[in-house]
Amino acid sequence: MTVRVIRPGLLTSVQDAGRYGFQKHGVIVSGVMDPLAHRLANMLVGNEELAATLEMTLRGPTLEFQEDALISICGGDLSPTVAGVSVPLWKPILLRKGSVLDFGQCRTGTRAYLAIAGGWNVPLVMNSRSTYLRAGIGGHEGRALRTGDELQAGELTGLGGRIAMRLSIQSGGTSFVASEWGIAKEMLPSYSSEPLIRVMRGNQYEWFTADSHNAFFSEPYRVTPQSDRMGYRLDGPKLELTEQSELISEAVAFGTVQVPAEGNPIVLLADRQTTGGYPKIAQIATVDLPLMAQSKPGDWIRFAEISREEAEWLWMLRESEIRQLKMGILLKNA
């Protein structure tokens, strides 16, 4: 199963859930920016959760499928079409041999995830298929996709085979068939250009002035153009320490909000460094990382405080929804 890249899009790379276990050597995690959309995309085509998807950013690629292929697209709406016909998101899709999948303007979110049954078959580097762009390792030749690249899909699973089989006997368009079922509306994330992001206090929260605490939780922060997979630099009311003190470098995490001396917060994301020395005012709840990662320069972010217990509880709730969904997909395609 070969897919040819006709046009690579703005930034399209192979990513999985991340390269864990090497942070003690300073090797960053990488992986998808929106773990939920990536996971759901894999589930819709019957993939293992560890399978790699294509992460597409703002302006998606044009891809030619040289055989029939079971795919799904989840995340931001980058206006996918085949032969001029809109392809729905959040559903399994059977593409006919020779189909050209094209993406247009970005309607919602920032990143979309293209899963293919069997996963994108690139070599494992340090136990992961994620592209680590800055180091030039992992993914497809350690880099973002370019015109003329050819990507291969892995072996599809039994479940993937059954989903594809059912779609192939369903009537549909000439170039693709969209499944009647998909991710339920209630479970779809509501990407927004003014998202409310829930955070816990960071370990240096008390280092900041009362005015900074107030501003951080009451004023919106704008996402600046200096924002990428490593982190988003935000712009808004300056955050100040009660006294100048240097933090001894320590671990940071996906969603850490750190504040350099100039006072503008930086949100650390998928390609974050492993450790950092700037005070951490907040940590984004894991369930809200997708909303943060789907925002783009010019968007306004608001932060709301929740407790760690709430964050844990929201995460457990999300996981149980995902388990139910997985069960539903299995039953539907038994």
Partner 1 sequence: MEATFQPLGDQAVVVQFGTTMSLEAYQQVRQVASMLDRQPIPGMVEYIPAYTTITIFYNPQVVYDWYQSQGTKEREQDADSLYQICCNLIREQLNHAEHQSERADRTIEIPVCYGGELGPDLGDVAELNQLTEQEVIDIHAGGDYLIYMIGFAPGFPYIGGMSERIAAPRRKSPRLSIPSGSVGIAGKQTGIYPMETPGGWQIIGRTPLRLFRPEDDPPSLLQAGDRVRFYPISYDEFLAFEEGSS
Return the HEC string of 286-299: HHHHHHHHCCCCCC
Strands (DSSP E) along 49-96, which ranges?
Answer: 53-57, 62-65, 69-77, 80-82, 85-86, 93-95
Kindly indicate which of the ranges 72-80, 98-106, 271-279, 292-300 contains the residues binding partner 1, using the contact rule CB under 8 A.
271-279
Between helix 35-44 and helix 308-332 the angle, nearest 10°, is 10
Interacting residue with partner 1 among 118, 236, 276, 279 (CB under 8 A):
276
Kindly state the DSSP code that residue 85 receives in the 8-state scheme. Answer: E
Q: Does 243 bind partner 1 (CB under 8 A)?
A: no
Kindly indicate which of the ranges 32-40, 92-100, 171-179, 270-278 contains the residues binding partner 1, using the contact rule CB under 8 A.
270-278
Q: Does 28 bind partner 1 (CB under 8 A)?
A: yes
Closer residue to partner 1, CB minimum distance, 61 or 236: 236
Nearest to 219 by CA among 196, 200, 189, 252: 196
Residue 21 CA, distance from chain mean position: 20
Interacting residue with partner 1 among 64, 226, 240, 300 (CB under 8 A):
226
Ramachandran sector of residue 119 (left: φ over 0; alpha: ψ -120 to 50; beta: rest): left
Sign (positive/negative) of CA torsion 107, 41, 310, 212? negative
Q: Does 119 bind partner 1 (CB under 8 A)?
A: no
Kindly indicate which of the ranges 8-16, 91-99, 243-251, 293-301 contains the residues binding partner 1, using the contact rule CB under 8 A.
243-251
- Minimum distance between the CB of residue 280 and partner 1, rounded to whole angstroms? 8
| Interface residue list for partner 1 (CB under 8 A) | 20-28, 125-126, 134-135, 137, 200, 203, 226, 230, 246, 248-253, 255-256, 260-262, 273-278, 283-286, 308-309, 311-312, 315-316, 319
